[in-house]
Amino acid sequence: MQGENKNIVLILLVLALFTGATIELSEGSTIIGIVLFIMAALLISRIKLTGENSALKNSKTYLFAGLFIMAAVTVFNLATRSSIGTLDSMTFLIGASLLAIGTARKDMRQLGEFGLYISVVFTALYLVFYTFFGLFNIDFVHLFNHYFVLMPTVSLLKFTGIPVEIVAIETITLYGIKETMTIIIGGPCSGLYSMFLLIGIVAAYSRIERIQLKKSLMILLFAVCVAYIANLVRVFTLYVVAYYYGMETMMVFHTHLGWILFAGTAGLIMYIMNRKDLLRK
């Protein structure tokens, strides 16, 4: 049991570090992002999954495909001098996962399969909700931000007596103690990224540890609900920080609070999924 708890902690740390690296690279410090990526890579080798076999056997094809994808993402961002975004990070993770699958070590192949499930599921959901819907002018993300993020958090603010006014579908005016601020809900503030990641985690862990489909679907629904509530807590907390301490302080919390909360959420999900009675032996 001690080994299982250690396994949960390691997976939690890797997910937290990787998510933090992604956010830091896109919104915060590039140096911190790189350091977090390196730390995550070092911890990956310490994780021991209990699944007996990886569905994907090691092959030089996976090895070279992974190297090509990782190099392509790196060269593209250097050539265009663009910042590393969320989709770039996930594509890079796909390459790194294929590289791990292509190695001869069983534990690395399992972790590669784990990472591949997460990154492919996230990328597929991202392309559907952010790219595909956009091509057909389906305003899903903006409507989701308004009705499922902005409206509930504004209601909480009003309930606590903090003066706030909705001025647009994703914009509020917050009358803080130090300043009046216009705050826009958008991008990662929707919490969809966390949901996509957790869906990928559930899919990966369920497949590798052979958890029954019915139980996997129940955990998936639970994961989405927890991710949604955790994001509401995050956005509400950011509003409160902005109200008391101003926009500048709120932006510092904005960069770091999201992935720290995600670590706690992912840890809860991993704990539930790692319970003995959920594994089909």
Tokens 């990782």 correspond to what residue? 70
**How far from the centroid of its chain's Cα atoms is residue 43's Cα?**
18
Asked if 278 and 214 count as a contact pair (C-beta separation under 8 A), the reply is no
pTM (2 decimals)?
0.79
CA 73 distance to own-chain centroid: 19
pLDDT score of 59: 73
CB neighbour burial string for 106-133, b if at least 16 within 10 angstroms, e if fewer: ebbbbbbbbbbbbbbbbbebbeebbeee
Contact 97, 112 (CB under 8 A): yes
172 phi and psi angles, rounded to 5 deg:
-130, 160
273/8 Cα distance (integer angstroms): 10
CA distance 223 to 216: 10
Pairwise CA distance, residues 265 & 223, whole Å = 8
Distance in angstroms (rounded) separating the CA atoms of residues 228 and 184: 18
Quickly count helices (H) and strands (E) in the chain. Answer: 11, 3
- Residue 45 has a pLDDT of 58
> How far apart (Å, rounded) are the C-alpha atoms in residues 246 and 254?
12
Give pLDDT, residue 281.
Answer: 45
CA dihedral angle for residue 9, residue 11, residue 13, residue 18, rounded to 10 degrees: -170
pLDDT in tens, 156-185: 999 999 999 999 999 999 999 989 999 998
**Low-confidence residues of the chain: pLDDT under 70:** 1-13, 15-16, 18-30, 41-42, 44-58, 83-84, 107, 187-188, 270, 273-281
| Burial class (CB within 10 angstroms; exposed 0-12, middle 13-18, buried 19+) of 177 | exposed
In 3D space, the residue among 103, 276, 126 whose CA is nearest the CA of residue 199 turns out to be 126
What number of other Cβ atoms are within 10 A of residue 50's Cβ? 14
**Residue holding tokens 């910042």?**
83
In Å, what is the CA distance from 87 to each residue of 134, 181, 200? 16, 30, 14
- Give the Cα separation of 9 and 172 in Å (integer): 38
Classify residue 36 as left (phi > 0), alpha (psi -120 to 50) or beta: alpha
Q: State residue 2's pLDDT score.
A: 44
Judge whether 18 and 36 are in contact, CB under 8 Å. yes
Two tokens, residue 277: 């009675």
